[in-house]
Amino acid sequence: MIFYDCATAPNPRRARMFIAEKGLEIETRQISIAEGEQLSDAFRAVNPRATIPVLVTDEGTILTENLGIAAYLEAQSPEPPLMGKTPDEKGRVLMWNAIAEQQGGMPIAEALRNGHPAFKDRPIPGPENYPQIPELAQRGRDRVGAFFDLLEDHLQGSPFLAGEDFTLADITGFVFVDFARVIKMRIPETSTATQAWFDRIKSRPSASL
């Protein structure tokens, strides 16, 4: 297998943490988004959509989305289970993974990519350029605030996002909560359950990668 990574971006970090939690060693190639390497002909020969992460499987399949990468690795290396053991757990993991992506990751990206001059004409990852929409930056910040509230409400009654065990959903949630720093948003001081959850995950070796 070959894993295409970018050390500074949140989505590759999610895959990197999942790989580490599985105890796998996979050949890794770094692609610098800052230098635009994802738009190079060499990388687009691997992934024409010019996004990272990418996992090229032993069978030669090219997986370009975190959920696809996680599902493949979970099936190939089922221990430790990171996507649930029972039907109920599997459903909760994918539900909270989607919540973290759509209500956490997406608004952070909206705020950053539509509000920062470094992303001029690049508010959407991929090969095409689009104009920034400044209004989306403020909406994104408002939605991140709502995401923090949602996490706190849920985590007051659950040690991890999908229940009693650490899963893919926690990796996704943790990475995006941590990445919110780029839009100068942090876990509110009053969100003690969220902070405790965050600290538990931060103490895991995979979180330092």
Residue 11 confidence (pLDDT): 97
Residue 74 confidence (pLDDT): 98
Collapse the DSSP code of 163 into the 3-class scheme (helix H, G, I; strand E, B; otherwise coil) and give the result.
Answer: strand
Q: Where does the pLDDT of residue 118 fall: very low under 50, low under 70, confident under 90, or very high at 90 and above? A: confident
Measured CA to CA, the distance from residue 185 to residue 179 in angstroms comes to 9
- Which H or E run contains 72? helix 66-76
154-185 tens-digit pLDDT: 999 999 999 999 999 999 999 999 999 999 99
Q: Give the pair of three-digit tokens for residue 86.
A: 């029972």
Closest by Cα among 206, 64, 59, 80 to 126: 64
36-92 tens-digit pLDDT: 999 999 999 999 999 999 999 999 999 999 999 999 999 999 999 999 999 999 999
Going through 89-148 in order, the beta strands assigned E by DSSP cover none
Give the number of other Cβ atoms within 10 Å of residue 138's Cβ: 13
Mean pLDDT of the chain: 97
Angle of the 106-115 helix axis to the 134-155 helix axis, nearest 10? 150
Q: Which residues contact 45 (CB under 8 A, 6 or more apart)?
A: none
98-114 tens-digit pLDDT: 999 999 999 999 999 99
Measured CA to CA, the distance from residue 103 to residue 166 in angstroms comes to 20
111 within 8 A of 134, measured Cβ to Cβ:
no
Q: Give the pair of three-digit tokens for residue 131.
A: 């104009």
Residue 44 confidence (pLDDT): 97
147 within 8 A of 185, measured Cβ to Cβ:
no
Residue 140 confidence (pLDDT): 97
- Which H or E run contains 139? helix 134-155
Measured CA to CA, the distance from residue 38 to residue 36 in angstroms comes to 5
Residue 167 confidence (pLDDT): 98
Q: Which residues contact 121 (CB under 8 A, 6 or more apart)?
A: 129, 130, 131, 132
